[in-house]
Structure formats: C-alpha cells, structure tokens
Amino acid sequence: MEYWHDGLAARKELKTREKPPRLDCSHKPRGINSSPGFTLLELLISIAILSIIMLGLQQVMGTALSAHRQTTEKTELLAQARYAMERMVMFVQETDQIDVPAVDKLAVSERLLDTYDNDLHTYLFDGDGYLDADNDHNGLVNEGTLEDPPDLITFDLDKTDGNNWKLMEEMPDYSTSDLYDPKEKKVLCEHVTAFQCSLLAPNLVEILLTLSDGEHDVSLKTRARGFYVN
C-alpha cells in the first residue's frame, strides 16, 4: 500500500514538471504601440498652422522679389542716363567748338579720338599718334580749311516713337576719306522724357537729361566746360 502511494505521488510530480507554464497575454510587450497616435483634430491643427506659415513666407518672398525688381529697373535706368551724360561731357571737355542749334540738340567738334590711320583710314587699336579729326595729318586739328574742317559730333532726340524717345549720337566716320560722311546714328539711351541744353558761355554748356520708364524717374543735370574753346 505504501508503494502504491509512492507511485501515485511520483506520477503527479512528473505531470507537474511536464506541464508548460501558461503565458500571460494580458500585458503587451513594451515598445509596441506603447504611445498613442495623433488624433484627427491634432492633424488638422498642424496643417492649419503650417499653411499660415507658408502663406507668410510666400508674402515675404513676393515683397522681396518685387523690391529687387524695382531696384534693378531703376539701377538700369540710372546707368543709361549716366552713360549718356558722361559721354556728352567727355566730348564737350575736349572740344574747341560748342553749338546749341536747338534746345534739344548739342553739337561739338570732335577732337578726342585716335582710332584710325589718318592716311589709310584703317582702324588701329592704338591709333597712329594723330587725332582722327586731324584730316590733313599735319598735327593741327579743326583748322577751318577745306582740307581740315571741323568734325562735328551731335546729340539729339529721336521722337519717332512717341512712347519712347531716344537720345541719339552721330559721329564722324573716319573710315572713309569723305570729310562730310557721318556714321549712322546710334542710341545712347531710351525712355527719355527731357533733354535740354543751354549755352551759358561760349565754353560752358548746361545739360539736363530725364528718363522715365513709367514706374521710375531719373533726372541728371550738369555743366560741362570746353577747355579748348576760345
């Protein structure tokens, strides 16, 4: 009887050892869906805030680009006016004759350039040592003779296009032997609204130049003296 109880106890102990432990599924492993996600309301609020920020950035960028465009346009307009004014002053300062046949026209004798061979009338990068206006190649310029008349350079307005006046320059053509053969007129600047010249003295001229492109206005005024005018 004692052996029978011992065998029964041994079988119970063996079953207890062989039975696998039960897993507790009531708790989820840490790190898996341990934090809640965004709700729909939170997503909508985030999108609204981001939209407001993007709209503000767009407005700032638009304002900056518009300011840059206006600055660039005005700078280009000013550059045109300065180039034209500086070129006129350059020729006035070296001239020995100033003429203002009309309020919007300026004519001066050219005695600055040395870019051609005075005998062959071919272009030379460094010139030939004689001014191009020295037509008879004797070292004297604008003698007033048939062989060496004054070579005039003129500045006047082209009003062909009523919406866009142009300041034009007409130079002597030193590439030919013809003493009265000017080059084709070239444009110095556009969008001119005013070009006025006043001869204050035989050697002093006042020049006013105004440009406008409809949005920006640039006005320059100066006085130039001809150092070789008697």
Answer whether residue 170 is part of any domain.
yes
CA distance 105 to 194: 11
Q: How many CA within 13 A on the CB side of residue 9?
A: 6
Residue 106's domain comprises 69-110+150-225
Q: How far apart are CA 130 and CA 118, in angstroms?
A: 7
Alpha-carbon distance of 113 to 30, in angstroms, equals: 91
| 184 within some domain | yes
Query: Can you tell me whether residue 224 is helix, strand or coil?
Result: strand
Q: Is residue 120 part of a domain?
A: no
Place of tokens 């001066």: 108
Classify burial at 101, counting beta carbons within 10 Å of its beta carbon; exposed 0-12, middle 13-18, buried 19 or more: exposed
The confidence score (pLDDT) of residue 34 equals 53
Residue 134, pLDDT score: 87
CB burial string 52-72: b at 16+ within 10 A, e below: eeeeeeeeeeeeeeeeeeeee
Q: Are 110 and 153 in contact (CB under 8 A)?
A: yes
Contact 84, 224 (CB under 8 A): no
Residue among 73, 90, 214, 74 nearest 155 (CA): 90
Please state the pTM of the whole predicted model.
Answer: 0.71
Instruction: Tell me the residue type at 206.
Output: E
Structure tokens at 180: 């009265």
Q: Is residue 98 part of a domain?
A: yes
Do the domain assignments include residue 216?
Answer: yes
**How far is the C-alpha of 125 from the C-alpha of 118, rounded, in Å?**
13
Which parts of the chain have pLDDT scores under 50? 2-5
Q: Residue 1 domain-assigned?
A: no
8, part of any domain: no
Q: Give the C-alpha distances (Å, rounded to integers) separating 47 from 30, 38, 57.
A: 31, 12, 15
Flag whether 9 is in a domain.
no
pLDDT, residue 6, reads 54
pLDDT digits (tens, 9 = 90+) for 61-108: 888 877 777 788 889 999 999 999 999 999 999 999 999 999 999 999
Total of domains in the chain? 1
